Amino acid sequence: MLRASKELALTEQPRMSILQNCSFTLQFFNLDKIIRCFFTRENHQEQLHCISWREQTAGQLTSCQGEDNQSLMVCVCVCVCTTDLLPALGGEDVTRGFLQELLHILLGYICKSSQRSSKVLDFHHPHQLKEGLEGFSLDLPDQPETLEQILVDCRDTLKYGVKTAHPRFFNQLSSGLDLIGLAGEWLTSTANTNMFTYEVSPVFILMEEILLRKMQSIVGWSEDEGDGIFCPGGTISNLYSILVARYHFYPEVKTKGMAALPQLVLFTSEHGHYSVKKSAAVLGIGSENVVVVKCDERWVQRAQTPSVTLLQGLAPFYVNATAGTTVYGAFDPLIAIAEICHRHTLWMHVDAAWGGGLLMSKRHRMKLQGIERACSVTWNPHKMMAVPLQCSVILVKKKGLLQECNQQGAEYLFQMDKPYDVSYDTGDKSIQCGRHVDAFKLWLMWKAKGSEGFGSQVNKCLENAEYLYDQLRRRTDFELVLSSKPEHSNVCFWYIPPSLRNVPPGPDRNSRLHQVAPQIKARMMETGTVLIGYQPLGSKVNFFRCVFSNPATQQEDIDFLLEEIARLGSDL
């Protein structure tokens, strides 16, 4: 009569003897682990009797309301819960079992994500997910759930998410799942430490230093130049660049604030990332004091702009040049900008968040020629180098500036009388106090690929872009946004649905074409077969932007993308 429910797996079998009809004595070996017993009729879901073990003083349950001679099943829910895991006494086995089961789930997801036959996403609206699909409740309980349920929650979380590692995920600059990077993240979270002092992160601090040194030398700075830090994303890296530039020219700003300074002005191009404006707002400079330089589709034409503004009596101090713009993947002419900055004593920052990866490729690094003249560089390995999120770096040419700019000398954290070289305590050169270890996964990937492996990876992404460009040129149902060969891995294009193919250019065609990408994208999300982003830009109506940073993507996926867009838009 005894039937163990699957939740019993992690404990010993309870023993039950029938004393009289519907009255049982249950003996358990792990009494403290049982939170709930219930009886059901065989093959029935309903619970005839449910009792919390904690309410029982003895192991005898007497009030089950089953019928005479009916086959009854006793289900015992064993509370293998979070308190059974380490550091609980004897928690090793439960911990091993739990993490092993988790690995099984994660491996299943990883394998599925790499299968072309699986969906990129299974879209649901916010209200649908909030209502609790198939029992997947997002609500936060007062009482603990069992580990069994936690694993179910993990499965469900992955099920309703988006597979960013799928070969047909083209939606974001960050995509793919590098397994060495993943291993790096798993180890990082297992070590669970903080980058602020050498004391608690000796190995990670050194790895960060070695990576920064390497990246500085790849940028082209000499041995005696260069500083930097890993940041939580490219926007923070760009914010750092303006912060240190301001401090470099006006060190009094740190204590006196902007009130002590003339009206600062900085420059970026209209295709530069919006983080420059955002940072200007945060830093108290004001977003209107960011001069947005008009540019053509690819090249910034800013040769005269700073000098013009100088005439107006403002205080320009900083130019942001972009190496790899977000939409077009264009590279600003760094040498020309360096000349201007040199002439006017302006801080030259290169936002290579997206384009920095090309420095790893012998074939493509010339696109960033002049970057060695920058005073600071943003470079996000989590984009083109496919390092798991987050992994962004700000490099600053002038040594010691980060520390001077940001230190507040909190003695309770950064004691000078420690028994080691305290220049390795990085916490006083960052804005943050506690700081996540973002360096290790990149270090591990560098070990596993070597510089050359990163180079090949970047080359392959740019080959994919060229392949897509070639396909688009051949087809009549698509139109390229830019006619020239892509510089980076961005390729922008319109799908021209049948109804628009014979409509002459003009406002009518434009306003109808503007609707096409959003409609196709909506259908794409419904079908879940592929994912790509779109946006308008300047006078250009909504167009698709395909970007390649996912090492999983092959030419067949690019063919599929175009076929799928054409299929989804065939009736538009």
| Residues in 129-188 at the binding interface with a second copy, rule: CB under 8 A | 129-130, 138-145, 147, 149-150, 153-154, 157-158, 160-162, 164-165, 167, 171-172, 174, 176-180, 182-183, 185-187
Distance CA 400, CA 405 (A): 9
Q: What are phi and psi of 318, to 5 degrees?
A: -155, 135
Residues forming beta bridges with residue 394, ordered by sequence position: 229, 378
Figure out which of the listed residues 1, 9, 18, 103 binds a second copy, where binding follows CB under 8 A.
Answer: 103
Figure out which of the listed residues 57, 69, 117, 255 binds a second copy, where binding follows CB under 8 A.
Answer: 255
**Count of residues binding a second copy (CB under 8 A)?**
166
AA identity, residue 185: E
Q: Which of 8, 13, 44 is nearest to 26 (CA)?
A: 13
What are 5's two structure tokens?
């429910």
Least gap, CB of 454 to a second copy (angstroms): 10
Contact (CB, 8 A) for 374 and 218: no
What are 156's two structure tokens?
């469900």
Please identify, using beta-carbon distances, which residue of 141 and 505 lies nearer to a second copy: 141
Which residues have a Cβ under 8 Å from the Cβ of 484 and sit 6 or more positions away?
A: 298
Least gap, CB of 277 to a second copy (angstroms): 5
Q: What is the dihedral of CA 190, 213, 196, 378, to 10 degrees?
A: -90
Q: Is the dihedral of CA 298, 321, 432, 388 positive or negative?
A: positive
Contact (CB, 8 A) for 42 and 85: no
Tell whether residue 400 is a contact of a second copy (CB under 8 A).
Answer: no
Please identify, using beta-carbon distances, which residue of 373 and 545 lies nearer to a second copy: 545
Figure out which of the listed residues 16, 285, 402, 482 binds a second copy, where binding follows CB under 8 A.
Answer: 285
AA identity, residue 561: L
AA identity, residue 426: T
Figure out which of the listed residues 335, 433, 473, 511 binds a second copy, where binding follows CB under 8 A.
Answer: 433
Tell whether residue 542 is a contact of a second copy (CB under 8 A).
Answer: yes
Please identify, using beta-carbon distances, which residue of 120 and 377 lies nearer to a second copy: 120
Select from 51-59, 330-338, 439-447, 558-566 the region that touches a second copy (CB under 8 A): 439-447
Least gap, CB of 498 to a second copy (angstroms): 22
Contact (CB, 8 A) for 516 and 524: no
Q: Which of residues 324-383 bind a second copy (CB under 8 A)?
A: 326-327, 382
Q: Which of residues 483-502 bind a second copy (CB under 8 A)?
A: none
AA identity, residue 298: R
Distance CA 253, CA 263 (A): 12
Q: Which of residues 401-430 bind a second copy (CB under 8 A)?
A: 405-406, 408-413, 415, 417-421, 424
Tell whether residue 50 is a contact of a second copy (CB under 8 A).
Answer: no
Please identify, using beta-carbon distances, which residue of 66 and 533 lies nearer to a second copy: 533
Q: Which of residues 197-226 bind a second copy (CB under 8 A)?
A: 198-207, 210-211, 214
Q: Which of residues 8-37 bind a second copy (CB under 8 A)?
A: none
Q: Is the dihedral of CA 506, 508, 514, 516 positive or negative?
A: negative
Least gap, CB of 346 to a second copy (angstroms): 18
Please identify, using beta-carbon distances, which residue of 348 and 537 lies nearer to a second copy: 537
Scanning 169-226, the segments in alpha helix (DSSP H) are 179-191, 202-219
Least gap, CB of 286 to a second copy (angstroms): 3
Contact (CB, 8 A) for 16 and 24: yes
Least gap, CB of 226 to a second copy (angstroms): 15
Select from 33-41, 195-203, 336-344, 364-372 the region that touches a second copy (CB under 8 A): 195-203
Q: Which of residues 307-326 bind a second copy (CB under 8 A)?
A: 326
Instruction: Provide, for the chain, the percentages of residues in helix, strand and coil under a 3-state DSSP scheme, each rounded to the nearest 5.
Output: 40, 20, 40
